[in-house]
Amino acid sequence: MGREVLPSPVQAGHGLTISMNILHVISSDGADLGDYIFSLLTRLPYNWRSCVVGSLSRRLRSRLSQGNIQWVNVQMPAVDDRAGHSAVARRLGRILRSFGAEIVHSHNVSAQVCTFMAARRIKPPPVQICSLHTSLADKAGWWMRRLQRRALTGADAVVVASEAEREALCYAIPGLQPRTHVIYHGVERKSSTTASDPGMRRNRLGLASHTAVVGIISPLRAGLGLESLIRAAAVVQDRLPNIEFLVIGDGPQREELQSLAHTLGLTGAMLFVGERADVSDIIPVLNVLVLTTDAVAAPLRGLEALACNVAVVAADSGGLREIFEPLPKTTIFEQGNVEQLADAICRQLEITHVEAMTGAVTEGETGIGVSEKDMLGSELLYDLDTRGLEPELAATDKPLTAAEIVQRRFSISSMVARIERLYQDLHAESLGAGRAVKRTNRSNAP
């Protein structure tokens, strides 16, 4: 456990923004959100105090400690664990009081259920924000589905990553429409000079140095289209030589999927490497990343791939089409359609091969991990009046690469600015008269 909480809230700062105590609660299915959470917290105003609660990976705990951010490692309940939610809610209530949380930002609906149950015991209750990084659990029992609706209705704001997700959520729970906000994920731009040797990373993963690599990052459980991916991989292997498939993730379906891969003759070509803490470092090794569903962090991983000039093949699921169809180096396929998926992977591999042969994808790589651009001058501009010195791409007459387009449309600074504004607006509203009455009415919503 880290430094769990401090007993007294921080006093108001002397900057342009007032101080706030913000508690982030991460659900059990939010393990892939570590980079997202860390990027957000390290860019908020210096006089805002943050604490993270949830099932935190060792890597995230270490990064939070290095960033002087408080954290509490709590075993979060499974989606349909009624007793588990109640137990976590009681502990969360103690943390809320001790930390003096004015805003609780829950990540995924299971975390919001715990927050909702805990906040009902606190007067006045804190502002509640829920970011939905995945769709509501269809297989949850009737009791949990009802509680999820109540918890979301009790939130002051719900954040989703696309207009399509907003429409689906508001159709399921019409009362959420006025309080549902679309905030697209943001990704950091990674310089080629900061990446380690791709060949070394390949060797560590057990990949050959001469093959093209197709990656999938997903929990290994039913309903995520993984069987279709493995069948499509067998088709791709028959069409193209020297292709390897890297499966990152773990779950109850792992043995079944490995058995299917063996049956289809993919034993030597498909590697199951389990959960990895260094996913962001593995993505640049790939030639193609496949998104079979809009599960937790799937859009974020896809944008990270494009930011590294890695092609993306995405299912027509949730908000994936909305996010990725307008971008270069992407192909959308019908979810569950094996032939379409195989065609899309082959098409992107062939395009990647042509770009590599012509040098289009490497953009002047020198062969030592430093590009000609990096050697001659910076392609970034820095606005010294912006907190954090966030880099912005310089104007150029050259066609924009996928990485440059992603950086302009999905910058981390834009995402953080919108979330920061949401915090400020809701905090200001909470200081106004009548908040206790409004919160009571929402808590009693059906």
- Write the DSSP string, 76-89: PPPTT-HHHHHHHH
Helix axes 226-239, 338-358, angle to 10 degrees: 50
Strand partners, 291: 314
Mean pLDDT confidence for 55-74 = 91
Angle between helices 82-99 and 142-153 (to 10 degrees): 20
- The reported pLDDT for the residue numbered 357 is 52
Mean pLDDT of 296-321: 89
Q: How confident is the model at residue 180 (pLDDT cuts 50, 70, 90)?
A: very high
280 and 159: one domain?
Answer: no
Same domain, 238 and 273: yes
Q: 161 with 140, same domain?
A: yes
Residue of 426 and 201 predicted with greater confidence: 426
Domain limits for position 346 = 192-410
Residue predicted with more confidence, 278 or 132? 132
Count of domains for the chain: 2
Helix (H) or strand (E) holding 261: helix 254-263
Closest to 105 in 3D by CA, of 169, 24, 162: 24
- Give the pLDDT band of residue 8 (cuts 50, 70, 90): very low
Q: Distance (Å, rounded) from C-alpha 382 to C-alpha 153?
A: 41
Q: Quick one: 206 and 342 in the same domain? A: yes
Do 312 and 182 belong together in one domain?
no
Task: Taking residues 18-36, report their average pLDDT.
Answer: 84
- Does any domain span residue 327? yes
- DSSP 8-state symbol, 219: -
Cβ atoms of 302 and 320 within 8 Å: the answer is yes
Report whether 155 contacts 128 (CB < 8 A): yes
Average confidence score pLDDT of the chain: 82
Range 420-435 average pLDDT: 83
Q: What is the CATH number of the domain that holds 59?
A: 3.40.50.2000
pLDDT at 394 over 80: no
Residues 236 and 356 in one domain: yes
The overall pTM is greater than 0.85: no
Q: Is there a domain that residue 400 lies in?
A: yes
Question: Is the domain of 140 the same as that of 43?
Answer: yes
**29 vs 81, higher pLDDT:** 81
In sequence order, what are the residues at sequence separation of 6 or more whose Cβ sits closer than 8 angstroms to the Cβ of residue 171? none
Confidence of residue 359 (pLDDT cuts 50, 70, 90): low
Whether the per-residue pLDDT at 365 is higher than 60: the answer is no
Residues 282 and 314 occupy one common structural domain: yes
DSSP 407: H
Which has the closest alpha carbon to 160: 337, 435, 418? 418
Please indicate, yes or no, if residue 8 is contained in any of the structural domains: no
Dist CA 136 CA 204 (whole Å): 36
Question: What percent of the chain has pLDDT above 70?
Answer: 78
